[in-house]
Chain A
Amino acid sequence: DAKTTQPTSMDCAEGRAANLPCNHSTISGNEYVYWYRQIHSQGPQYIIHGLKNNETNEMASLIITEDRKSSTLILPHATLRDTAVYYCIVRDSHGSSNTGKLIFGQGTTLQVKP
């Protein structure tokens, strides 16, 4: 799986959009970009994933650059409950690892402030 780089921490004002960047310059053509988050003392939560096109669901939007070397997760109207560690992962959808295990890096700690 390709390596990702994320900022260690970010702050965002409540009600504003939170834009979380991720660099994955070694991503290969069949690797998807996945985002998970983990609120303190809870299990990780799947947010969104994409391959080439931008994606949107009820939680967030994912913007992937044309060269696919970076992406941005957007929480359009951040709330205090969005305070969490956000993980960006790239994975081969057909399973480069036959275990399917997820490897989380350090992620970005997002602090949403009132």
Chain B
Amino acid sequence: DVKVTQSSRYLVKRTGEKVFLECVQDMDHENMFWYRQDPGLGLRLIYFSYDVKMKEKGDIPEGYSVSREKKERFSLILESASTNQTSMYLCASRSQGTDTQYFGPGTRLTVL
């Protein structure tokens, strides 16, 4: 059974804090994605990674960075959290050459 896990389901942070969101997949997938989902705006791609140590900006990378040191792990970093980063964050992975993405359960982040 495919599995994508995220480090937290719910997270509350203060403005200005550095926030780490971790995602782990056990399917040996090359590609991994970070999205955020907001009401009325759908899914928006923040960053994606083709493979280890490779990353590309998505549509809304500002205020975020990522790290992919190991194939199974893709981390999203909020350098200095702001209230407009309050959102549901979704991690996904897929095997290179396919188009089916498998999602984690999501992290609902609230920045106060």
* A, B co-complexed: yes
Task: Write the residues of chain B forming the contact surface with A, with a CB cutoff of 8 angstroms.
Answer: 4, 31, 33, 35, 42-43, 45, 48, 56, 58-59, 90-92, 94, 99-106, 108
**Stretch of A6-14, A70-78, A91-99 contacting B (4+ beta carbons < 8 Å):** A91-99
* Most chain B beta-carbon neighbours within 10 Å: one of A44, A91, A105, A106: A44
* Pick from B59, B103, B105, B106: contact of A101, CB under 8 Å: B59
Question: Does B31 contact A100, Cβ atoms closer than 8 Å?
Answer: yes
> Which residue from A44, A45, A100 sits with its C-beta under 8 Å from B94?
A100
Nearest chain A CB to B61's CB is how many angstroms away? 11
Name 28 A/B residue pairs within 8 A (Cβ), A-sorted.
A34-B99, A34-B100, A41-B106, A42-B105, A42-B106, A43-B92, A43-B103, A43-B105, A44-B103, A45-B103, A46-B103, A49-B100, A91-B99, A93-B99, A99-B48, A99-B58, A100-B31, A100-B48, A100-B99, A101-B33, A101-B35, A101-B43, A101-B58, A102-B43, A102-B101, A103-B42, A103-B43, A105-B42
A99 and B34 alpha carbons, distance in the complex (Å): 11
**Contacts A34-B99, A95-B99; A100 near B33 (Cβ below 8 A):** yes
CA distance A95 to B101 in the complex (A): 13
Check if B105 sits within 8 Å of A32, measured CB to CB.
Answer: no
- A44 and B31: CB pair below 8 A? no
In whole Å, how far is B12's beta carbon from the nearest beta carbon of chain A?
16
Give the secondary structure class of A's interface.
loop
Contacts A41-B108, A44-B90 given; does A101 touch B100 at CB 8 Å: no
Distance in angstroms between the alpha carbons of A105 and B43 in the assembled complex: 9
- Give the shortest distance, in Å, between A94 (CB) and chain B (any CB): 9
Which chain B residues lie closer than 8 Å to A106 at the CB level? Answer: 42
Across-interface contacts of B31 in A (CB, < 8 A): 100
Q: Which residues of the other chain, B, contact A103 by a CB distance below 8 angstroms?
A: 42-43
